[in-house]
Chains A and B, each alone.
Chain A
Amino acid sequence: MTADASRKPVIEARNLSKWFGEVVALNNVTLSVEPGVTGILGPNGAGKSTFIKLALGLYAPSRGEMRVLGEPPRNNRRVLSRIGWCPEVDHFYDHTTGFEFVYWLCRYWGMSSRAARAAAIEACEMVRITDRMDDPIDEYSKGMRQRIKIAQALALSPELIFLDEPMNGLDPRSREEMYTLIRALGDRGISVIVSSHILYEIERITDNVVLLVGGTLIAQGRVRDIRELIDRYPHTIRVISDQPVQLAKRFAGEPGVYAVETRGEVVTIRTLSPDDCYETLNILAVKAPGWVRAIECADNNLQAVFDYLTKKTVSGV
């Protein structure tokens, strides 16, 4: 592959629209995604998943054009043989183990039985699920299900991978591992498209971001530009903890934190310095796992930025 070819856009959308009945999911989106790791950021219902499904060929555009790796993706086996996908929602066959799930999807990809077996084992190792890969998926936790979905996408050795909200349901430690994995994929020259409604997640893995709101492309560019806007707004983080009182005490009085509430095992932290909070939570998650069982980022602040950007776009400021 020449240097020029390697810099060709992996995704090109021109005047792309998709509607379902009277619901407009994507509205006249024109963008070009370069090779590397790119985040698609937007609140729930922004059209992120619809955009990815159009790129996968699961949907046909209502209007406009979508090209993936230089070709229209729908029913295009040349394109499909070069891409992998981890869906947002859990879709699994009944009565199937994790290994079998990955194995059969490799077989559908055209691997021989032996190659599919080797690829499935290796993919399970890669997402650290080897010890449970022979258990039924029905018995998996949310995080393990997420891992096995990612394993099936990686097992195919694709040139382009779509990860739709891959961090959903992962504990802090697994999230860290996922960030590392995605960055490693990018370092190996694999293009990765990651959707998320959490800027912090995208920021950990790439500086390239596409911002969608209400099916419309609001911005495309560097994460740090979005970050500057984000930091002007209060940030809400919810933590599920076995030690909610101790955790609340730990954060009370921290710079930037202006409110800490506890309700049952949920601790709600309101801060103007989200980075510092996330850093502290990650350290706690490793050192004292019971203190941080799960982190939920309420995206109110992101929505505020979206609202700000949308008004700015509409008013032409």
Chain B
Amino acid sequence: MSELSLPTVLWTETAAKTPSLVQQFCASAAHAFIIMTRRRRFALAAALTFLPALVPVMESFFGRSVHALMASELFTRLAEKLYIDLLSPLLGLFFATLLIAEDVELRTISYILTRPISRTAWVLGRFAAFLLAAAPILLVSLAITALASGIKRQGFVLSNVNDFWLFCHYAAVQTIALATYGAFALFLGAFSKRPIVYGVLLIYGWQRVAAFVPGVIDFLTIQKYVDGLKPVLATQRNLVSIQTALGTFQREVFAIGAARALVVLGLMVVVFLGASAFSLRRREFGGDKTAGA
């Protein structure tokens, strides 16, 4: 009978006993990126992200309204309402919850936690993989939308320096929003068993509700600070007051400056990622259902 045999040389000498954090981060990011991009869900999300680009194309060829929007206005509305307010959180939930949450669900997390890998490096690697996968999709889609907005229209061409900078501004805000929502989704995945449910409730429920009481609880949303980063020339910036269920409020009173918004969003990312790493250290992931865990 043939027997399983041990190799004559074991691999102790090839293994780094004290792997660097950079090495661990890269391993985590590369692995997560590969896993994510192999998913059918990835292709589906990418296809969904490219749909808004069809709006200006359709509008250009089939729009007959005399009140049709100017190209810059159309691009601004799509960038703000669809890309930043809708797709950034959606992609964050879609991709980021796939990472830690899926490792927990498949229980592959136990392999990770029995490796001598820094929990922080692992979480950061997962987060980097999310950004590497989601940000380019969103960016390319935004660029196509910007180009398509200029078809048959005057007023928005990327070769124009001002328009190019406006595009870059929205691209940056969109990426920052994606990073913040992604970190939040990662955090939900590390803490709860149903990150998508909680994510939808908090992002699309709580944020909408909080917007009805400006100046009070809307400071406890990501949306508030993302809005603070948007260009002041955006269409809704023309509004000086906002009507809510509670009354009419002067917008300037509750506006957040871009610098302060950037700092707060940066802090949010750090806190969410730090909390995710902390959760991995504290939670028990044995998944021993028979034992009642």
Q: Which residues of A contact B (CB under 8 A)?
A: 18, 20-23, 25, 44-45, 47, 49-50, 53, 56-60, 75, 77-78, 80-81, 83, 85, 87, 89, 91-96, 104-112, 115, 118-119, 122, 125-128, 152, 155-157, 173, 176-178, 180-181, 184-185, 188, 286
What is the distance, in angstroms, from A54's C-beta to the closest C-beta of chain B? 9
What is the distance, in angstroms, from B46's C-beta to the closest C-beta of chain A? 17
* CB-CB nearest in chain A for B284: A59
Tell me the chain B residues, 112-137 only, with Cβ under 8 Å from chain A.
Answer: 112-119, 122
Say whether B108 contacts A93, CB under 8 Å.
yes
Q: Which residues from chain B contact A57 at a C-beta distance below 8 Å?
A: 113-114
Q: What mask results when residues 4 to 22 of chain B are scored 1 for a CB within 8 Å of chain A, else 0?
A: 1111001110111111000
Say whether B290 contacts A45, CB under 8 Å.
yes
What is the distance, in angstroms, from A309's C-beta to the closest C-beta of chain B? 22
Contact of B110 with A by CB under 8 A: yes
Q: Which residues from chain B contact A177 at a C-beta distance below 8 Å?
A: 1-4
In the complex, A44 Cα to B288 Cα: how many Å? 12
Tell me the chain B residues, 258-293 only, with Cβ under 8 Å from chain A.
Answer: 281, 284-288, 290-293
Q: What mask results when residues 94 to 117 of chain B are scored 1 for a CB within 8 Å of chain A, else 0?
A: 000000000000111011111111
Contact of B117 among A47, A94, A110, A178 (CB under 8 A): A110
Say whether B114 contacts A50, CB under 8 Å.
no
* CB-CB nearest in chain B for A285: B1
What is the distance, in angstroms, from A146's C-beta to the closest C-beta of chain B? 12
Q: Which residues of B contact A (CB under 8 A)?
A: 1-7, 10-12, 14-19, 23-24, 27-28, 30-31, 35, 38-39, 106-108, 110-119, 122, 281, 284-288, 290-293
Task: Report whether over half of chain B's contact residues are helix, strand or loop; otherwise say mixed.
Answer: loop
What is the distance, in angstroms, from B218's C-beta to the closest C-beta of chain A? 38
Contact of A21 among B19, B113, B119, B292 (CB under 8 A): B292
Q: Which residues from chain B contact A185 at a C-beta distance below 8 Å?
A: 6
Say whether B107 contacts A89, CB under 8 Å.
yes
In the complex, A277 Cα to B291 Cα: how many Å? 34
In the complex, A185 Cα to B3 Cα: how many Å? 13
Say whether B288 contacts A118, CB under 8 Å.
no
Say whether B286 contacts A92, CB under 8 Å.
no
Q: Which residues from chain A contact B10 at a C-beta distance below 8 Å?
A: 157, 188
- A sample of 16 more A-B contacts (CB under 8 A), given A20-B291, A155-B11, is A45-B290, A50-B288, A53-B286, A57-B113, A59-B288, A95-B38, A115-B16, A118-B11, A122-B11, A126-B6, A126-B7, A127-B4, A156-B15, A177-B3, A181-B6, A286-B1
